[in-house]
Amino acid sequence: MPRLMGDRIILREYSKEDLKYMRQWCNDPEIVDHLSDIFLYPHTVHGTEQYLNAILEGKTEQKGFVIAHKDTEEYIGQIDLFRIDWKNRSAELGIVIGMKEYLGQGFGTEAIKLLQDFVFNRLNLNRLQLEVHDFNERAYRCYLKCGFKEEGRLREKTFIHGRYSDTIYMSILKREFEGSI
């Protein structure tokens, strides 16, 4: 898999050394409350290691990259493609900036734009989609900035912190990405 070079980051392959960084955020409510319900229960060291090993050994259909600092290649987060549909030319995006010191600094935006270029111009996909909780305003603004459009909401789909929240579905098409360059 190629490395994708940005201004401040690279999207690189996963490595065994990433485990310690993944462990820093995978049970942190400030990070995982914004992600899917697979983080509802605590993740064990063994479980995180199994997940990483599945990626390293190619035993998962998920494909993706570590978001790393360009100069040091140190882990910042990860950006992955799920449910790749080669017939219909679509995939689902998942992203996490796991290191809190990098939140709100545009690293997610840069990573998404690098991945969009890869998805549309290397993989020749036509559609990239994602889900976001309505309370995750920082991510929602980032996705809008990256050209994603809201397609709809599943009202009160998620229960977290004593209340229900909407799940927002967003996507960007290849022609929309090309029009934004």
What residues does each domain of the chain span? Answer: 4-180
Using DSSP, state whether 121 is helix, strand or coil.
Answer: helix
pLDDT digits (tens, 9 = 90+) for 20-75: 998 888 777 788 778 777 777 777 889 889 989 999 998 888 899 999 999 999 99
Per CATH, which fold does 4-180 belong to? Aminopeptidase (3.40.630)
pLDDT digits (tens, 9 = 90+) for 74-88: 999 999 999 999 999
Dihedral angle at the C-alpha atoms of 6, 10, 11, 16, nearest 10 degrees?
180
Strands 63-69 and 149-160: unpaired
Neighbours of 27 (CB within 10 A): 14
Q: What is the DSSP letter of 42?
A: P
Q: E strand or H helix at 25, and its extent?
A: helix 19-25
